[in-house]
Amino acid sequence: MGETVQNRPWYQSGWAIVLGLAFCWPLGLLFALLRLRSDRSFHSLAATLLRLVGYILLIGCSVGLVGLIVDLRDTADVDSSLGAIVWAAIFAAGGIVLLKKGSQILAGIKRRKVLINQIVNERLNSIDEIASRIRQPVGEVLYDVLEMARSGFLPGYQVDTQGRRVWRPILAPTAAEAVAVSGKAPEFLQFTCKGCGAHNQVQKSGQRVVCEFCDVAVAV
């Protein structure tokens, strides 16, 4: 599960990431990557933010870089112009880096959605069958499933690399089991997560409801 806002370090807050990306993109990228490690719900926003800032830096700095180079012959302060050109080039390169990283995160989200649909919604446990259905190499699917399990996107699931299987040995208690424990029938909420596409069934508790697989909040 992701960290709460109160427990999150200041450098992982939204304002710190945005300011870091705007004024020192390597620092902002570092802040974003640190938050990604502990906040499953941040992946979609991070992909959008990195790509947006990347486009702004790449286009804006590229235009400025061309203008500086054109004006270089007519300027009297060549050293200052060269310094400005270097900085513009650095930030333009930063735009490329942010675009690439944002695209990688977005691609990861799309792969997870496909695999969660197969594993969680369709309840398939054979890596070979999953790979056949989504038309991807078995090795790539196994790697992605292992990475999802390691990163917390398949909570409670186990992966057998030798037998190429993924399964969840402990499921949530059924309504009958819950009645036996609590003495009354619990009220369950079923929803399909808009973030990862997983079919969720959670017991209503009056608390904020989030997806079990990606921590994206759902309006109830």
- Dump pLDDT digits (tens) for 12-41: 999 999 999 988 999 999 999 999 998 999
pTM: 0.81
**Are 145 and 127 contacting, i.e. CB atoms less than 8 angstroms apart?**
yes
pLDDT tens, residue order, the chain (220 aa):
555 555 789 999 999 999 999 889 999 999 999 999 989 999 999 999 999 999 999 999 888 888 777 776 666 566 677 777 888 888 899 999 999 999 999 999 999 999 999 999 999 999 999 999 999 999 999 999 999 999 999 999 999 999 999 999 865 555 455 555 555 666 778 899 999 999 998 777 667 788 999 999 876 5
Question: 45: burial class by Cβ within 10 Å (0-12, 13-18, 19+)?
Answer: middle
8-state DSSP, 157: -
Sign of the Cα pseudo-torsion (101, 105, 110, 112, in order): positive
- Listed by start position, the domains of the chain span 1-107, 124-170, 171-220
| Chain centre to alpha carbon of residue 105 | 6
Of the candidates 172, 175, 143, 170, the residue with the CA atom closest to the CA atom of residue 159: 143
